């Protein structure tokens, strides 16, 4: 009986430790998501501002392309982070 209780107690402690770790990771990922959203918004605004100018030269066209790539990369990064956060939240909820 004592061994069963000890095993259960150990499992509960491990689960609690894992829960703390996952909660910290979720918080970190949420902060990363906020940063990625901010960077994407700034890149989009720069792209809109650059697109509003008339007759962009070759240099400006390169800058616009670079900003468009950055926006695309940031959106993909944001989606990856969102998926990771959702996965961790569902894991936390299942505990």
pLDDT of residue 22: 85
pLDDT of residue 6: 81
User: Which pLDDT tens digits describe the chain residue by residue (95 residues)?
Assistant: 678 778 878 888 888 888 888 888 888 888 988 888 888 888 888 877 776 665 557 777 788 888 888 888 888 888 888 888 888 878 777 76
- 10: domain range? 2-94
Distance CA 63, CA 32 (A): 25
Q: If you count them, how many residues does the chain have?
A: 95
pTM of the model: 0.52
Q: Can you list the alpha helix ranges (DSSP code H) found in the chain?
A: 2-52, 58-94
pLDDT of residue 46: 81
State how many domains the chain has.
1
């Amino acid at each position: 009986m004592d061994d069963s209780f000890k095993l259960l107690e150990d499992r509960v402690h491990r689960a609690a430790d894992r829960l703390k770790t996952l909660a910290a990771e979720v918080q970190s990922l949420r902060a990363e998501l906020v940063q990625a959203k901010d960077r994407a918004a700034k890149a989009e605004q720069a792209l809109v501002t650059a697109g509003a100018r008339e007759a962009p030269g070759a240099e400006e066209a390169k800058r616009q392309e670079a900003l468009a790539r950055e926006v695309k990369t940031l959106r993909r990064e944001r989606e990856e982070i969102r998926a990771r956060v959702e996965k961790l939240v569902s894991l936390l909820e299942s505990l």
